[in-house]
Structure 1
């Protein structure tokens, strides 16, 4: 089979497409013939050696896949050869085949008001909607009628947070870096938008909330925008630490949390899915209900061939991707 390999830490341009042996399913595992693989920010960190988990060389990036089960290991009861599935693999997805833990592999829905789930949608669901729903529901306890600020709102997890916030009854303010990106956010239901490259984030939030501040901040960006966002929290507001796509991990004056009675809450969905699989699966049942019912729809930026996977990672790193980039393996 063919796979995109990282043989040493570095930029996407160092990745190579090679022929490698097919994987074998161990106990509690399945082998998936990959149809599509989502492209996510952790992939860019992993190939540069900046992620919490460092697979041994050589490895393939790609942490969420969809495809067909072609081998089932011992101890697997809920999956069979021929099943169409989507899976959280962590890495290995930029390949024609991947081994996956059965516990984090789910059958693709075959029916619903919006029809059966397709492979591209399935491969772009776990990281974005899984992260964002866990953040808003489990970590922020977002309530209907509250105000939600989504930073980096045109990215994969950002757009998911916009859509989910709307479905959960919040007033959503989307912040992004261009008018083109903000137009997509409005199409996804954002009530208000802020271009934080041309507008003062704090002043605009004060204006939009009549000085009351926002209840929940969903922040996958970090860097210089984090502090003015936190200063814009309402009393008992919640700031969700989702990631640092802008590159710099911010230093936050903790007196801000004290003065506002606010919470700074970490969001690590991958660890949550591993440590609390039953609650994670419950979340996904709701997410899949919304997707198959047509209430959630992923915005696909572009489909890339397996050979073009390094280009997909570069586009993500350069923040050209609006919504979700997906690698199609065949």
Structure 2
């Protein structure tokens, strides 16, 4: 039996089902993986809703992240062997390679032998979060020691990854979260300071924390009305990296502030890194090094069995998690 997560129409988690599908056979440049754990991201929710950058082709599979064991290799695949414990770097569309299933195909360039110290659950939690944070902070913003970084939606898996990468670079991480409910968890996760955006004056608090200088980097997946405060909180010459649009309401923007503070507002997506072979290799090397040294560690909020995939999506959409939601495949999801 080989089951995959499928859906025939856009909508809420109830459109998802587990369906028996033929065992896939890898073509040239492809790898067949028997999965043990699957990473769940906001991207899957948006894809299922028809709100992502690519629209699902029905009947549609889903899923960007998986970890498991190589079961077969297609022609021309080098550097991997049957039996390798691997995980998948999102660098393809979900229409081409949906990886939420029991046995899945992935392009060989996206398959990485992960550090042995990682469990399969942890390995399924690595690439979306750490490559997104690496891309925005290191590749795009050029983070350096002494920088102050504002990290919106800090309790998300990407937000937690950004805190760790800021520390790896010698920078100061200020976590932004809607209320004080997650303050202690974010401090425990390494945030140097936490600002509750609905309870505090964000620009005033940032000025207080930075001796009036503001933040040199802003890392934001939200947009919407809150972006105006982030512009005000930014230091002269700051880079604002916008990697999501969780708030789709119109964004008020003080153009004079952008102009006279010489701000850079930079849109960024993970695929800018993962579809460029050199930048992808640099990102994988950076993350693998950090994982091996223990400088980077994925945070798992909760796991669900594959049979409860719809419940996992429901939990994701509530937005109460701190870290990654992982779906386990089979009875044993450890390496």
| TM-score band w.r.t. shorter chain | over 0.9
- Once residues 144 and 53 of structure 2 are traced to their aligned partners in structure 1, the CA distance between those partners, rounded to angstroms, is 32
- Once residues 13 and 176 of structure 2 are traced to their aligned partners in structure 1, the CA distance between those partners, rounded to angstroms, is 28
Give the aligned partner of residue 284 of structure 1: 284
- Once residues 271 and 210 of structure 1 are traced to their aligned partners in structure 2, the CA distance between those partners, rounded to angstroms, is 35
Q: How far apart are 1:249 and its partner, in Å?
A: 6.0
Query: Is the 2:147–2:171 contact (alpha carbons within 8 Å) kept by the matching residues of 1?
Result: yes
Give the aligned partner of residue 301 of structure 1: 301
- Once residues 253 and 14 of structure 2 are traced to their aligned partners in structure 1, the CA distance between those partners, rounded to angstroms, is 34
Q: How far apart are 1:156 and its partner, in Å?
A: 0.8
Give the aligned partner of residue 271 of structure 1: 272
Tell me, which stretches of 5 or more residues in structure 1 are unaligned? 111-115
Match of 1:93 among 92, 95, 99: 99
Q: How does 1:223-262 map to 2 (within 5 A)?
A: 223-248=224-249, 250-262=251-263
- Once residues 323 and 224 of structure 1 are traced to their aligned partners in structure 2, the CA distance between those partners, rounded to angstroms, is 25
- For the residue of structure 2 that corresponds to 1:231, the secondary structure is helix
- Once residues 85 and 253 of structure 2 are traced to their aligned partners in structure 1, the CA distance between those partners, rounded to angstroms, is 45
- Once residues 305 and 246 of structure 1 are traced to their aligned partners in structure 2, the CA distance between those partners, rounded to angstroms, is 30
- Once residues 254 and 317 of structure 1 are traced to their aligned partners in structure 2, the CA distance between those partners, rounded to angstroms, is 33
TM-score by length of 1: 0.94
Query: Is the 1:304–1:312 contact (alpha carbons within 8 Å) kept by the matching residues of 2?
Result: yes
- For the residue of structure 1 that corresponds to 2:282, the secondary structure is helix
Deviations 1:149-193 (A, max 9, x none): 101101110111011111111111111123342222211221111
- Once residues 251 and 27 of structure 1 are traced to their aligned partners in structure 2, the CA distance between those partners, rounded to angstroms, is 49
Q: How does 1:138-149 map to 2 (within 5 A)?
A: 138-149=139-150
Q: How far apart are 1:207 and its partner, in Å?
A: 2.0
Query: Is the 2:27–2:74 contact (alpha carbons within 8 Å) kept by the matching residues of 1?
Result: yes
Instruction: Name the count of aligned residue pairs.
Output: 324
Give the aligned partner of residue 177 of structure 1: 178
Give the aligned partner of residue 167 of structure 2: 166
- For the residue of structure 2 that corresponds to 1:47, the secondary structure is helix
Give the aligned partner of residue 208 of structure 1: 209
**Does the C-alpha gap of structure 1 residues 27 and 252 become closer, same or farther in structure 2, counting only changes over 3 Å?**
farther
- Once residues 216 and 16 of structure 1 are traced to their aligned partners in structure 2, the CA distance between those partners, rounded to angstroms, is 41
TM-score by length of 2: 0.92
Query: Is the 1:46–1:53 contact (alpha carbons within 8 Å) kept by the matching residues of 2?
Result: yes
- For the residue of structure 1 that corresponds to 2:63, the secondary structure is coil
- Once residues 24 and 256 of structure 1 are traced to their aligned partners in structure 2, the CA distance between those partners, rounded to angstroms, is 55
Give the aligned partner of residue 68 of structure 1: 69
Tell me, which stretches of 5 or more residues in structure 2 are unaligned? 331-335
Of 150-159 and 21-30, deviating more is 21-30
**Does the C-alpha gap of structure 1 residues 251 and 33 become closer, same or farther in structure 2, counting only changes over 3 Å?**
farther
Give the aligned partner of residue 132 of structure 1: 133
- Once residues 224 and 16 of structure 2 are traced to their aligned partners in structure 1, the CA distance between those partners, rounded to angstroms, is 28
- Once residues 129 and 34 of structure 1 are traced to their aligned partners in structure 2, the CA distance between those partners, rounded to angstroms, is 21
Give the aligned partner of residue 113 of structure 1: none
Deviations 1:207-260 (A, max 9, x none): 222322111000012222111111111110010011122344635344332111
Give the aligned partner of residue 28 of structure 2: 27
- Once residues 310 and 248 of structure 1 are traced to their aligned partners in structure 2, the CA distance between those partners, rounded to angstroms, is 27
